[in-house]
Amino acid sequence: MINPDLLDDARRQLLLGHPLPENLLPDAVARSWQRSRDAGLHPWESRLVNRVNDDYPLSETDEHLAATAQPEIDRLWDVFGGEDWCLFCVNSDAVIVRSKTNAETPPLNMLKTGVRVQEADIGTTAPACTLREKRAFVFTGPQHYLKEFDRFFCVSVPVFGPDNQLAGALDMTGIGERNTQVVFEQLRLSAMAIENQLFTDHYAGCDIFSIQSSPTFLNTPFQGLVALSADGNFVAASHSARQLLQLRISSRSLPFNQSSLKNLGARTEKRALPDGTYIYVRNLAAGVTTFRHAQQQSYVPVSVSTEPAIEKQFGIAVKACKADIPIMITGETGTGKEVFAKALHDTIDADSPFIAINCSAMPENLIESELFGYEEGSFTGAKKGGARGKLEDADGGTLLLDEIGDMPLRLQTRLLRFLQERQITRIGSSMIRPLSIRIICATHRDLPAMVAKQMFREDLYYRLKGMQVKLPPLHLRQDLRRLITTIVASFNHTEITEDAMQWLINQPWPGNIRQLRQTIHLATVIADGKKALRPEHFVEFDAQPQEVEPLTLADIEKNAIEAAVQRHHGNLTAAARELGISRTTLYKKREN
């Protein structure tokens, strides 16, 4: 850790026009400090708190990036979130397109959608350097140019779009220290998952194939994706695929035989590459979808739970829901509220629509039109012919209002009116539409406390709380051993050693079942096909993050290189391909 006094002195000297001392900061960070000074920023001013413009509009591309990043931000929040932390995604112009934080005071609560965090705005930060250098950065405290961020720990990783250009960055920022390697690996996994989804969305009209140097990593964030046209011609390759295949941006063909790919069916095939190594290929259309953490079921179905508290509440909730009594599901984040709601719906009428809307993930100016729909011409940007709202989509079925505690007060009034009258009027219309909908809401917030503070309508609270279901946190569940066994089996692993099982049982699991599932999933990837999960397959086994000295990116890179070499039994060519670097680069990095 660099002496903060040395950095303060360097700031003062920099302002006076003197160069920074050599080797005081990494080269990229030092260049950023100099650009921050040249932009007229003073290290001791509070730029983020005193911002003038925090409302940069989002384009359609930004909205798509935000929607794609949201599930990953939610997943990361379940693992790392807390009062003094913020997770956010920025576009290539450093405008925040989606963020999540519980902070109520500056500067963390200022990191919200629409805020721009360019280097010229708030100086040297991890996301600013990531956007400039197109690589990951880890910042601790005084490495930031502004003293405003002196206590901050910050990790940022790039997100590349389907055109292989930088689409933005994913960042975790907060006060304190975290296990750097774990945070970095999780952010990197999420960034790759976002990239994969952006690629499949963009090339939805093509045949998309998953590639990897190891079949174990197919259908994981580590996979590369290639798109072929209907006649089998090469169209595009994702950023990860180009790294795996060492393809230039200008490349218009694949370095392996692609003529028979369209006949793969559900098979996974091994194809030879010019350097004598192999790549594994699988057709995503053959029942395999792009890996996205948040699309994976984070909670085993209620029907297989042996937890008495859950079984009893589920049985009563089914009867209440059939009688058109609203259900309110409460519990900590990650306890399975949405899956409980979906199980209720499927038990009652699986063939009817189930519509879930996350009240915290939608901008306030859009949530009303999303819920109630609108007519053509009712506002600037309204679609031709108008659009149905989520309430109409749920007609005859179930509507889940997730994170209901985050619904704006203005909209709570309209929702209350709907619950009373069971009919809606689209924005810009006078036509009344009667609807028949089962209502389920879910929240991790303390709604009674919010009612007392007049942050949530009391009449709406009691209207929604026909029956309350309380899901217990994971560490209090009596069926934890069976739950672990079920999740392990869902990843095609039949065994877990007893010491690994006991370690999992003894963890506090602040992210609950979603965090447990992700931990097991990562362990199965590390196990690389081995039948039983052992302690060494769990990244944080026997770790005390609060006592761990944060690793530098150089340390993380070194560990990743050596792990890859070991996995490939010393085959440096195969290891380089997995890491997405050339053999020459691998040799140099190992020598250094």
Q: Would 326 be classed as within a structural domain?
A: yes
Same domain, 429 and 507: no
Are the beta carbons of 54 and 110 closer than 8 angstroms? yes
Same domain, 493 and 521: yes
The pLDDT of 157-162, averaged and rounded, is 97
pLDDT in tens, 18-35: 999 988 899 999 999 999
pLDDT of residue 546: 38
Instruction: Give the tens place of pLDDT for each residue, 425-442.
Output: 888 888 888 999 999 999
Q: For residue 271, what are its two tokens?
A: 């194809």
Please state the domain count of the chain: 5
User: What pLDDT, on a 0 to 100 scale, did the predictor assign at position 83?
Assistant: 76
Q: Is residue 191 part of a domain?
A: no
pLDDT number for residue 510: 84
Q: Tell me the percentage of the chain whose pLDDT exceeds 90.
A: 32
- Predicted confidence at residue 548, as pLDDT, reads 36
- Whether 224 and 212 have beta carbons less than 8 Å apart is answered as yes
What's the pLDDT score for residue 512?
83
Residue type, 300: V
For the beta carbon of residue 304, count every other beta carbon within 10 angstroms.
10
What phi and psi, each to the nearest 5 degrees, are found at residue 539? -55, -40
Hey, what are 329's tokens? Answer: 């599901």
Residue 254 is given by DSSP the state -
- Which of the listed ranges 218-227, 275-284, 316-325 does the model predict with the highest average pLDDT? 316-325
Q: Is the Cα dihedral 436, 438, 442, 447 positive or negative?
A: positive
Report d(CA 186, CA 192) in Å as an integer.
Answer: 10
pLDDT of residue 51: 62
Same domain, 18 and 133: yes
Report, as an integer, the average pLDDT of 553-570.
Answer: 69
- What is the mean pLDDT of the segment spanning 225-232? 89
Q: CA-CA distance, 198 to 62, in Å (whole number)? A: 12
Q: Is the pLDDT of residue 8 over 80?
A: yes
Please indicate, yes or no, whether residues 312 and 450 belong to a single structural domain of this protein: yes
Asked if 578 and 563 touch (Cβ cutoff 8 Å), the reply is no
Model confidence over 242-256: pLDDT tens digits? 988 988 877 888 888
Quickly state the pLDDT bin for 214 (edges 50, 70, 90): confident
Is 16 found in the same domain as 145?
A: yes
Mean pLDDT calculated for residue range 284-313: 51
Q: Do 328 and 288 belong to one domain?
A: no
127 lies in some domain? yes
Nearest to 43 by CA among 85, 19, 9: 9
Q: Indicate the range of 263-267, 317-321, 468-472 predicted with least confidence.
A: 263-267
Highest mean pLDDT out of 76-85, 165-174, 371-380, 563-572:
165-174
- 243 with 312, same domain? no
Band of residue 274 on the pLDDT scale cut at 50, 70, 90: confident
DSSP at 281: E
On whether the CB atoms of residues 423 and 434 are closer than 8 A, the answer is yes
Query: Which domain does 97 fall in, by range?
Result: 4-179
Reduce the DSSP state of residue 532 to 3 states and report it. Answer: strand
* Total length of the chain: 592
Residues 6+ apart with CB under 8 A from 27: none
Q: Between helices 553-567 and 572-579, what is the axis angle to 10°?
A: 130
Last residue of a domain, one of 451, 471, 491: 471
Mean pLDDT, to the nearest integer, of 13-19? 90
Residue 556 banded pLDDT, cuts 50, 70, 90: low
For 49-69, the pLDDT digits (tens) are: 776 456 788 999 999 999 999
Q: Is the pLDDT of residue 195 over 90?
A: yes
Burial class (CB in 10 A: 0-12, 13-18, 19+), 506: exposed
Choice between 53 and 12, residue whose per-residue pLDDT is larger: 12
pLDDT recorded at residue 218: 78
| 481 belongs to a structural domain | yes
Max CA distance (Å), the chain: 75
Tell me how far CA of residue 378 lies from CA of 60, 63, 81, 386, 388, in angstroms: 19, 21, 39, 8, 13
What is the Cα–Cα distance from 256 to 265, expressed in whole angstroms?
18
Q: Judge whether residue 102 has pLDDT over 60.
A: yes
Residue 533 within any structural domain of the chain: yes
Name the β-bridge partners of 140.
153
For the chain, the 3-state helix, strand and coil shares in percent, each to the nearest 5, are 45, 15, 40
Residues 39 and 101 occupy one common structural domain? yes
Tens of pLDDT, residues 484-516: 887 887 776 557 888 889 989 988 888 888 888
Instruction: Please check the confidence at residue 135 and state whether its pLDDT lies above 90.
Output: yes
The domain that holds 569 is classified in CATH as: 1.10.10.60
Tell me if the pTM is above 0.75.
no
Say if residue 454 is in the same domain as residue 521. no
Q: For residue 310, is pLDDT > 60?
A: yes
**How high does pLDDT run on average in the chain?**
83
Interatomic CA distance for residues 526 and 566, integer angstroms: 12
CATH classification of the domain holding 347: 3.40.50.300
Residue where a domain stops, chosen among 439, 471, 503: 471
Choose between 553 and 258: higher pLDDT: 258
**What is the spatial distance between Cα 58 and Cα 56, in angstroms, rounded to a whole number?**
7
| pLDDT of res. 325 | 94
Place 566 in a pLDDT band, splitting at 50, 70 and 90. Answer: low
**Of 4-13, 250-259, 307-316, 322-331, where does the model show the most confidence?**
322-331
Same domain, 531 and 558: no
- Distance (Å, rounded) from C-alpha 320 to C-alpha 134? 53
Least confident stretch, 232-236, 312-316, 498-502, 556-560: 556-560
CATH number assigned to the domain comprising residue 525: 1.10.8.60
What 3 state SS string does 159-228 have? EECCCCCEEEEEEEEEECCCCHHHHHHHHHHHHHHHHHHHHHHHCCCCEEEEEECCHHHCCCCCCEEEEE
Residue 302 pLDDT greater than 60, yes or no: no
The pLDDT of residue 553: 64
Beta-strand runs (E) in 247-378: 268-272, 278-283, 327-330, 354-358
Q: How much of the chain exceeds pLDDT 70, in percent?
A: 86
Residue 223 lies in a domain: yes
Does 72 lie in the same domain as 159?
yes
**Paired strand residues for 269:** 281
Among 128-142, 187-201, 574-588, where is mean pLDDT lowest? 574-588
Examine the pLDDT at 469 and tell me if it is beyond 50: yes
The whole-angstrom separation of Cα 27 and Cα 7 is 15
Phi, psi of 479 (to 5 degrees): -105, 30
At residue 294's C-alpha, the angle toward residues 54 and 491, to 5°, is 155
Give the end of a domain, one of 454, 471, 488: 471
Which of 378, 394, 389, 395 lies closest to 411 in space, CA to CA? 389
- Terminal CA-CA length for the chain: 21
Whose structure tokens read 């035989």?
Answer: 257
Average pLDDT over residues 560-564: 73
Q: Coil, strand, or helix at residue 446?
A: coil
Residue 292: both structure tokens together? 């996205």
Cα 251 to its chain centre, rounded Å, is 31
Closest to 329 (Cα-Cα) out of 267, 433, 402: 402
Q: What's the average model confidence in pLDDT over 258-283?
A: 81
Within-domain flag for 198 = no
Alpha helices in 396-511 (DSSP H): 409-421, 447-452, 458-464, 480-490, 498-506
- pLDDT single digits (tens) 391-407: 899 999 999 999 999 88
Tell whether the model's pLDDT for residue 380 goes beyond 80.
Answer: no
In-domain check, residue 583: yes
pLDDT score, position 288 = 38
Residue from 124, 66, 73 nearest 95 by CA: 66
Contact 227, 285 (CB under 8 A): no
Which tokens sit at 165?
A: 């250009």
Does 284 share its domain with 365? no
Selection from 251-255, 415-419, 476-480 with the highest mean pLDDT = 415-419
- The two structure tokens encoding residue 480: 């934890």
Q: Give the pLDDT confidence of 282-297 residue by residue, as tens digits.
A: 887 654 333 444 333 3
